[in-house]
Amino acid sequence: MSVKKIAIVGNPNVGKSVLFNALTKQYVVVSNYPGTTVEVSRGKMNLDGAEYEVIDTPGMYSLYSITEEERVTRDILIKERPEIIIHVVDAKNLERMLLLTLQLIEADLEVILVLNIMDEAVKEGVSIDVGLLEKELRIPVVPAISTAGKGIDNLKKKISEYDKKRL
């Protein structure tokens, strides 16, 4: 059984690492990306009999990288070709974060969009039609509050469904 890769990407401070910890719940390897001072965390997750390497990437705003962090994340996506990309966004700033989602989709990557920090979005009066967003983007969309563990089971279900669909 080969290990499949999942990369967690998104802007800085959207909860990527919290989500990473919720998915892996185990031994984590943090290492500097070769030739940089940028840290990349890697962990393992078992789901429905499949083993995954989960990669917590540095924050990025665009695939058209400018910063060292963005270059590292882009290199991971291009060179390692993870089977699934989990794009984590701050739900209350969805509109501004969808540019990266669209770039990932246009790059022909298998994307699952996680609308994180939903509790704050709701408090600010932000309403998101998840079904419509899924339909328009043609990718799975998962609302979440990763700090409270909400949405994690649904995300795992979407990962499993996505992976089975690819076989």
Alpha helices (H) in 16-149, listed in sequence order? 16-24, 68-75, 94-106, 118-123, 130-137
Give tens-digit pLDDT for 38-70. Answer: 788 899 999 988 899 999 999 999 998 788 889
8 Å CB contact between 69 and 93:
no
152-166 and 16-24 are packed helices; what angle lies between their axes, rounded to 10 degrees?
80
Give tens-digit pLDDT for 7-26. Answer: 999 998 899 988 999 999 86
Q: Which of 58-62, 85-89, 161-165 has the lowest mean pLDDT?
A: 161-165
CA gap 121, 123 in Å, rounded = 5
Indicate the pTM of the whole model: 0.92
Print burial letters for 99-138: b (CB count within 10 Å at least 16), e (below 16): ebbebbbeeebbbbbbbbbbeebeeeebebeeeebeeeee
pLDDT of residue 68: 87
pLDDT of residue 26: 64
Q: Which domains does the chain have, with CATH numbers?
A: 4-166 (3.40.50.300)
Listed in order, strand segments (DSSP E) in the chain are: 4-9, 28-32, 39-47, 50-56, 84-90, 111-116, 141-143
Joined tokens for residue 99: 């540019």
Identify the residue whose tokens are 């690819």.
166
pLDDT of residue 37: 57
Is residue 167 pLDDT above 60, yes or no? Answer: no
Q: Name every residue whose Cβ is closer than 8 Å to that of residue 125 and which is 6 or more positions away in sequence.
A: none
